[in-house]
């Protein structure tokens, strides 16, 4: 499937004119059609990388625009980033902090559920992701003993938490009760 998708994209990209405005229009149209077919994130990344290699024209921001899950979340880079964007967040939004590990199989199951719930409530909820292997001090500070763990913050205060893999309905109820 990925090979067919890349070859379709390559054929489409070869028809795009050299002018940036026409490139942007054709690329944007192609992305809309591709995402309506519900391709996986891996296939979208493959398309983006292939297109960048061939045309020296990044379309990553367009994927973020149409793939709305990405726009409602961010990855915490360090402790200062956590303080600025989670604890001192000026918005009155609920911030869910997902403590995960790249090697964690339950995290890989749980993350899409969490991202979908956040995208459905993107006006009121932001998802912050923290890799416990990179930011172990933050994980210890918030008593994260197992992954996945989600801690909810509002106005810099902890307002709830989830430990382990939860169902989509339970995550949605958890968010709605705190929004």
Backbone angles phi, psi at 21, to 5 degrees: -65, -40
Higher-pLDDT residue of 24 and 169 is 169
The answer to whether residue 11 scores a pLDDT higher than 70 is: no
Q: What is the mean pLDDT of residues 111-136?
A: 93
**Which residues neighbour 107 within 8 Å (Cβ) at sequence distance 6 or greater?**
100, 101, 147, 148
Annotated catalytic residue 107: yes
Of 44, 94, 107, 152, which is the active-site residue? 107
Measured distance CA(116)–CA(149) in Å, rounded:
17
Measured distance CA(163)–CA(153) in Å, rounded:
15
Of 44, 47, 104, 151, which is the active-site residue? 104
Annotated catalytic residue 44: no
Least confident residue range of 78-82, 120-124, 138-142, 158-162: 120-124
Measured distance CA(37)–CA(22) in Å, rounded:
23
Note the pLDDT tens digit of each residue in 62-112. Answer: 444 444 444 578 999 999 999 999 999 878 899 999 999 999 999 999 999
């Amino acid at each position: 499937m990925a090979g067919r998708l890349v070859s379709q994209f390559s054929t489409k990209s070869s028809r795009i004119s050299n002018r940036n405005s026409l490139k942007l229009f054709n690329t944007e149209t192609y992305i809309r059609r591709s995402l309506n077919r519900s391709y996986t994130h891996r296939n979208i990344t493959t398309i983006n990388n292939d297109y960048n290699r061939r045309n020296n024209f990044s379309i990553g921001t367009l994927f973020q625009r149409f793939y709305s899950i990405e726009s409602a979340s961010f990855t915490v880079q360090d402790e200062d980033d956590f303080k600025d964007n989670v604890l001192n967040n000026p918005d009155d939004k609920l911030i869910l902090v997902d403590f995960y590990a790249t090697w964690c199989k339950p995290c890989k199951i749980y993350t899409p559920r969490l991202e979908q719930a956040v995208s459905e409530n993107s006006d009121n909820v932001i998802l912050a992701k923290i890799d416990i292997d990179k930011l172990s001090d933050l994980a210890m500070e918030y008593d994260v003993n197992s992954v996945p763990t989600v801690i909810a913050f509002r106005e810099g205060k902890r307002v709830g938490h989830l430990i382990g893999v939860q169902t989509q309905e339970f995550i949605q109820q958890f968010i709605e009760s705190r929004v």
